[in-house]
Chains A and B, each alone.
Chain A
């Protein structure tokens, strides 16, 4: 069965420092992976996706993610964090077949401190 794990409930980082939000996955076929961000009382905003190709995926707002097949990971990264990056981040994997629904991780709250 497909699943997504985000091992950290919260990540704290100082502004200007690099950040990493971890995600590991389990799928039975090809992994289709996504990162979304959620601000308070809002829906989710799409950041980036991995379908195939280069393992380093670049997305919105300076975020990038590295796909690692051997470690079944898809960690979200940013070289220099901003206070405005503070939000809830979700990793998701698409389930093939049917209506291609998404399975979300539990979410990681990112807190960037000035």
Chain B
């Protein structure tokens, strides 16, 4: 089956630093990747949709300068949380879709738990 790898799985860092999270599709080419944020005991909130070779599409209320997304290849998308603060602490999850995403399920990474001190 389709595998999505997300790295790192856990990050603890000081306030003010920037953190990069990688999302890779290991055995398929992902035209579209999605970045979600999940708060404890809550559902997934879509942050942005990332397409290879083009700018990401951010959901309303998500600061694009705060959460930088790059989708440089068909197998890699990165999310950089810039100048992170404690309120950015959360569980971040990426997913990837095949070229025909309408009927294909999204395949999810295992998530990154980000803790800002």
Interface of A toward B, CB cutoff 8 Å: 32, 34, 36, 41-46, 49, 51, 90, 94, 96, 98-107
**B32: chain A residues within 8 A (beta carbon):** 99-100
Residues of A close to B34: CB separation below 8 A: 99, 101-102
- In the bound complex, CA of A43 to CA of B92 (Å): 9
Question: Interface range on chain B: under 10, 10 to 19, 20 to 34, or 35 or more?
Answer: 20 to 34
8 A-B residue contacts at CB 8 Å?
A41-B111, A43-B108, A43-B109, A44-B44, A46-B107, A99-B51, A100-B102, A107-B43
On whether A51 and B108 interact (CB within 8 A), knowing A90-B44, A99-B49, A107-B43, the answer reads no
Any A CB within 8 A of the CB of B19: no
Interface, chain B (partner A; CB < 8 A): 4, 6, 32, 34, 42-44, 46, 49, 51, 57, 91, 93, 95, 97, 101-103, 105-111, 113
Closest to A88 in B: B41
B43 touches A106 (CB 8 A): yes
Residue of B nearest to A90 (CB): B43
User: Residues of A contacting B49 with CB < 8 Å?
Assistant: 98-99, 101
Query: B93: which A residues are within 8 A, CB to CB?
Result: 43-44
- Min CB distance A39 to B, Å, is 10
A96 to chain B: closest residue by CB = B102
B60 nearest CB across to chain A (Å): 13
- A51: chain B residues within 8 A (beta carbon): 103
Which residues does chain B contribute within 8 Å of A102, judged by CB atoms? 34, 46, 106
In the complex formed, the residue of A with least CB distance to B10 is A41
Q: Judging by beta carbons under 8 Å apart, are A46 and B109 in contact?
A: no
Contact of B6 among A32, A36, A43 (CB under 8 A): A43
Residues of B within 8 A of A100 (CB): 32, 97, 101-102
Q: How far is the CB of B34 from chain A (nearest CB, A)?
A: 6
A76 to B34 CA separation, bound complex (whole angstroms): 25
Q: How far is the CA of A34 from the CA of B91 in the complex (A)?
A: 22
Distance of A44 Cα from B111 Cα, bound (Å): 9
Query: Which 8 pairs of residues, A with B, have the shortest CB-CB distance?
Result: A43-B108, A44-B108, A46-B105, A100-B101, A99-B49, A43-B110, A104-B43, A106-B43
